[in-house]
Amino acid sequence: MFTVFIDQFWQLTISGIALGFIYVLIALGYTMVYGVLRMINFANSEIFMWGTFGAIVASRDLFGYNQTSEPAHGAKLALVLFIQLFASMAFAGLTAVTVEFVAYRRLRAKGTNRLATLISAIGMSMVLSEVMRLLTASRPVGSPRILEKVILVEVWGAQIRLDTLITIMAAGAIFIILERFVKLSRMGKAIRAVSMNEDAAKLMGINLNRVITTTFLVGGLATGAAGFFYITVYEYTKFNIGFTMGLAAFTAAVIGGIGNIRGAFFGGVSLGLAEVYASAILGTQWKSVTIFIVLVLVLLFKPSGLFGEAVTQTRA
């Protein structure tokens, strides 16, 4: 039972980190919106799913790749990947901002309670996935292979593949950029101020609606980037993939203390590792079970999250 785990420990660790980084970026979508609105944006899982389609639309419709095409190389490869990343982020970012505008803003203006917004979020989630179901006739959509999955090096018996390396490095970089943005930029400071005290933030001259739009945009961009990495690694998507990925990322956000950006990082990486290790030890059929057990345990014993502080304390 443990032999696979021990033999392939480093290999598993690398896959776990890559998967974890994808969770981190989606978790940012949940955690940033929660920080500002104290609301779980359940549509974020579908925003991720739309992001995965952005990458496919870019490679297939913009560059004309199909399942029989040869993978790209050199400058062409970099260009296609970059445009794919951009398309994923744009798809998801626009979807996130639209969802906020259509489904939440009016409710907020009317001063409705959070339950109404939550139900609206679940409704938006269904709309987004059903629209994609219609557009794709319920079928899975394969992504043309852009990136040859060459093995770069072997360390301690673990093979490091190009797609894994790109995912870890690029996702890590995107996380750092976003974290710095929230910590240091003028808009980031406004986001933090609103998340700590909405009324006081308004008294400082902060335009609340602009902060909320930016938060959805930034959270959507991060979630969309995750969609691109998902496509690069798994080369496949479907209208309903948001559900499991979204719940896992939500779990990651809760582990780290929802509303806390660095917490999302720790939560995502630890969940990615836990999931991969558990699959190796118990079998892959236990993958989703692991995620839910972790979620329930965290909610039972440490609802503020392992790395989280009280909601009123430091974040970002």
**What tokens appear for 99 in the block?**
């969802």
Contact partners, residue 242, CB within 8 Å, separation at least 6: 45, 46, 47, 48, 49, 125, 128, 129
Least gap, CB of 183 to other proteins (angstroms): 10
Q: Between 89 and 316, name the residue whose CB sits nearer to other proteins.
A: 316
Contact criterion met (CB below 8 Å) for 56 and 143: yes
Least gap, CB of 120 to other proteins (angstroms): 22
The 3-state DSSP class for residue 4 equals helix
Residue recorded with tokens 């505008």: 101
Least gap, CB of 195 to other proteins (angstroms): 9
**What tokens appear for 241 in the block?**
């993939």
Q: Between 67 and 313, name the residue whose CB sits nearer to other proteins.
A: 313
Q: Between 67 and 197, name the residue whose CB sits nearer to other proteins.
A: 197
Distance CA 55, CA 57 (A): 6
Where does residue 146 rank: exposed (0-12), middle (13-18), buried (19+ CB within 10 A)? buried
Least gap, CB of 114 to other proteins (angstroms): 17
Least gap, CB of 249 to other proteins (angstroms): 24
- Residue type for position 179: E
The 3-state DSSP class for residue 151 equals strand
Q: Between 77 and 208, name the residue whose CB sits nearer to other proteins.
A: 208
Q: Between 200 and 296, name the residue whose CB sits nearer to other proteins.
A: 200
**How distant is the alpha carbon of residue 302 from its chain centre?**
23
Least gap, CB of 176 to other proteins (angstroms): 20
Q: Between 184 and 296, name the residue whose CB sits nearer to other proteins.
A: 184
What's the N-to-C CA distance of the chain in angstroms? 40
Contact residues for other proteins, defined by CB under 8 A: 186, 189-190, 192-193, 196-197, 199-208, 312-316
Least gap, CB of 28 to other proteins (angstroms): 18
**What tokens appear for 71 in the block?**
């993978």
Q: Between 74 and 205, name the residue whose CB sits nearer to other proteins.
A: 205
Q: How many residues does the chain have?
A: 316
**What tokens appear for 14 in the block?**
């690398």
Distance CA 316, CA 301 (A): 23
